[in-house]
Structures are given as structure tokens and as C-alpha cells.
A and B are shown apart, each in its own frame.
Chain A
Amino acid sequence: MATDVVTVTQLEAWVRRFADLIAENRAHLTELDSAIGDADHGINMDRGMQAVLGKLDAAPPGAADELFKLVGMTLVSSIGGASGPLYGTFFLRFASACGPSVALSPDDVVKACRAGVEGLVARGKPELGDKTMFDSLHPALEALETAVGAGSSPGEAFSAASRAAARGRDDTVPMVARKGRASYLGERSAGHQDPGATSAALLFEAAAAAFGN
């Protein structure tokens, strides 16, 4: 039975690692978006996460809810597009579910992730197979729940979630988009990997790295 907790320091490391991965993948995300969207996903996500880093450096939050509220509000006010409200809502709901804790049990993390994904679904109303972020978030959340339920440590559970997110991301390639700007392409959107599903998979990759140590 795992007793590992995730500390606020590790949660902040997760956010910072996500910012680094977004920066490293900035050109890649924008290129994916130029094929089926408007060629700005990497640029916008990087602007948002760099703004988050600036705020974290200026005033490091003491509790989990403060941390994720800061991330959510900053993304909402700095990304724009659809990604701002969607990622922003994910982190704001994540924050509410955490409460003012300084350490989260694996079950708490699962609960917060589920709240975040539910908030995102309420905002964007995606369904599985629409070729969106949700196509990698949903399998990631399921894998996370299964792993934590089976007693995996947070690092192991997020590694499993990250692998599931990557598979979900890859599965978006043949899909025909039914949401967002890519949907204007109809059948022409098939054969391209979804940029939102790609950045969402980085979120779980970052968690696996941050909680794995």
C-alpha cells in the first residue's frame, strides 16, 4: 500500500517541468497547429507558462490551492484562444479540489485531476473521439485512477497515466476533428496529430518526471 504523499514542492516542480516541456515543444506544437488550426498553440502555451514561471518566482505559493489558483488565473489571463479557458478551468478546478493542503495523498491527487478534467469538459463540452485535449486527458485520468487504486506510488501512477496520455495523443492522428478550428477541415483533419492532445500529454509527462524522484 503506497503511503507516498505529493508535497507542494513537488507540485510546483510539476508545474515548472510542464513549462519547460512546453518551451521545448513550442515549435512542434505550433507546427502541429499550423496543419489543422491557426499555428499558434505552442506560442500561446509558452507565453502562458512563462507568465506562470514569472509569478512563481516572484511569490512562491505555500499551499496547493494557492499554487493551482495562480496557475489557472495566469493561464486564463495570458493564453487566450480556446486553450486559455480550457487549461485555466482545469487548474482552477484542480485548486478547489486540493484545498489549502501542503501535501496531497495519491487519492487527493486523483480527486483533483478528476475535478480538473470535469471542469474542462463542462467548459468545452468535448466528447471522446472529437480530436481534442480530452482524447489524451481521459485515458490518462483512467490510468491514473487504476494505478492509484492498485496502490502504485504517485511517480508510478503518473508514469502509467503519461503512457496512456501518449497513446491517446497518438490515437488522435486518424480522427476527424469535431471541435475547434480543426473541425472546419472535416475529413482533411484526419492524418494529423491534435496539438491540444499533444500539450495535454506533456502535462502528464511532466507529472511523471516531477513525482518520480
Chain B
Amino acid sequence: MKKLINQPTTVVTDALAGIAAAHPELRVDHDHKVIYRANSPITGKVGLISGGGSGHEPLHGGFVGVGMLDAACAGEVFTSPTPDQMYEATKLVDAGAGVLHIVKNYTGDILNFEMAAEMAGEDAGVKVETIVTNDDVAVADSLYTAGRRGVGVTVLLEKICGAAAEAGADLASVAAIARKVNGAGRTMGVALTSCTVPAAGKPTFELADTEMEIGIGIHGEPGRYREPLGTAAAIAERLLEPIVTDLPYERGDAVLAFVNGMGGTPLLELYVMFAEVSRILTGHGISIERSLVGPYITSLEMAGCSITLLKLDDELVRLWDAPVCTPALRWGM
């Protein structure tokens, strides 16, 4: 294992120290591993918090700031944060308008956020709504699985709901927009290499030089198929086909297309992928109205990418275009 770390056990706390040092507009509660806006809580505004295992940076801490999240809780690498963290974050950002918990659909995240929401309601009297993202079409959504994983849509949802909350929408409205975004978005990913959890010290799975894993999760969970590595054009087809047919996205639809890097793939390759996505969607008569390209929800140093489509309407376009100022996403201000 070759990593820029001091020791495996202090990766998360050392990174949080770096975030605090680099971003004075944010505060870090080091005891609870919570990153939050320095001016929290903001009177009259619904608070947005998210969190999850570390190793997906910039998700979620890099999305704390004006127009996006109020706070993010950092768990150990690939491990959900604990209820006391979300409880502290909830209290930090609540100014009486309530708090939306944005949770990716993983059993650990669900259970810990559920305990935190119970504590916040019972002990602190905070109104909490929860949105669970589950956009990964690689997982069969049935009674026999934990359900689809929350992946790329989470980034888009945090941006769009953040804009709504910043504009003064109440908790029920922000939660409704969150459900709308989750319902209109679908994602699928591919891995070209594995990743190494610092505390484990060795790659999470083995993948030969000539192979790729289609339908990979963001923690190195196996996907649907292991296949010989294809060209960018072939891989884009392989990822988009199940996405387009799932919602489905249809001729005449306007979408936001998001090509996300898994952490170890250069932007050069992500743009090669975006060209293929554009070509394929044009063929389907689907127009790309907005785009996002880059590593925003990563899996440590894994090489690969995910593709997310979000069906847009005027409301979602307006909220997407609204100003945002966070370490990882910034425009309009």
C-alpha cells in the first residue's frame, strides 16, 4: 500500500484537520467529525445534513457551504458515521425550521441516521425529514436485496435541495424536491481497478489488467458483470443502456448528464466518456441541458467512472443554476 498518510488509523482525523486549515469559511467539530458552515445555524433556513463513510471525497464535506449542505458527518473509511455525530450536526444547523437528512441507501447509513433522527426528535425536539437516495441501477431492487445503492444522484440532490433551502423553502418543500430528484435520476458505474482501504492495507478485490467490473459500487462492492476491458464507446453503451431503459428516459427528454470519476481516473478520460455519452444520448433524441464532469463521489483511488442521468424540468434547472459556494462545487458567486 502506497498512500500519503501518517498512519492508517488517523486518516480521517488528519484529513479533517486539513479541511479546517484550508477552508476558514467552514468549521470542523473534531470530536464528532462534523464539518459545518461557520455561520450555522441560519435563522429561518432549513438545515441540510448528510454524511457517510469517508473515502468518497469531495462527497460530503466538500459540499458544505452556501447553496448546498449545512453540515456533513465523516465516518471511518467506507463506514457509516455514528448516530451521535448526526445528532450533533442536526443540533448545530437547526434554527427551528427543521433539518433534512440526506442518506445514501446502505444498511449502515440507514440504521445510524435512523437512530440519530430518533434522538433529535426525542431529546432535542428537532423536526427531521429523511431522504434516502437509491439510484444505482446495477442493483436489482427487490425484497431479496438491501435495495439500490445511493450513488451519483446524491451529489445532484445535495446541490438542488441546497438551492431550494437557501431560497427559503420550508422542510416539506425541500423534502418533496429531494424525492423528485431521487425519482428522476439513475446511475451506473464501472471499475477498472480496485481500491485499498487504508486500515485493510490491501486491495478490496482483485481485477486483472484486462478486466473491468460493470455495475461497481462506491465501496468496491462487486457489480453485475466482470468482462474484458472495452473501449470508452463500448463501456458508455454498457452503462447507459440500463440507465435509459430503467426510468425510462425518452425521446424529447432534457437531462443533466453527470460523468463522475471514481478517484483514479484522469479528467482527460472522463471527457472521452462524456463525448460517448453525448453521442449515445443524441441518438436516443435525449438532449443534454446541463452537465457535470469530474470526481465528485469517489471510491478512494479506484479507476473507473459512473454515469448519472437526471431528467430536468424548469424548476430543477433553476435550482441547479442557482449560486453555490463550497470547496468542491462553486459557481455564480
Contacts and interface: CB of A to CB of B under 8 A. Distances in A.
**Central interface residue in B83, B108, B114, B217, by most chain A CB within 10 Å:** B108
A213 to B, nearest CB: 35
Given A76-B84, A180-B146, A188-B222, A81 B108 contact: yes
Contact of B82 (A34, A78, A188): A78
B144 A84 contact: no
Interface string B129-146: 000000000011001111
A179 interface: yes
A82 B108 contact: yes
Given A44-B79, A80-B79, A184-B139, A38 B111 contact: no
Contact of B199 (A43, A76, A124): A43
B112 A181 contact: no
A78 B83 CA distance: 10
B220 A38 contact: yes
B111 A86 contact: yes
Contact of B111 (A123, A183, A185): A123
A38 B219 contact: yes
B78 A76 contact: no
A78 B32 CA distance: 11
Contact of A76 (B82, B143, B204): B82
A28 interface: no
B221 A184 contact: yes
A78 B76 CA distance: 10
B81 A39 contact: no
A76 B115 contact: yes
A40 B217 CA distance: 16
Interface in A162-199: 176, 178-181, 183-186, 188
Contacts, number: 102
Interface string B81-111: 1111000000000000000000000111001
B82 A79 contact: yes
Contacts of A184: 139, 145-146, 149, 217, 221-222
A106 interface: no
Interface string B238-270: 000000000000000000000000000000000
23 contacts: A38-B78, A38-B197, A38-B220, A39-B220, A40-B79, A40-B199, A44-B76, A76-B82, A77-B84, A80-B76, A80-B80, A80-B82, A80-B112, A84-B80, A85-B114, A178-B143, A179-B146, A180-B107, A181-B219, A184-B222, A185-B222, A186-B140, A186-B145
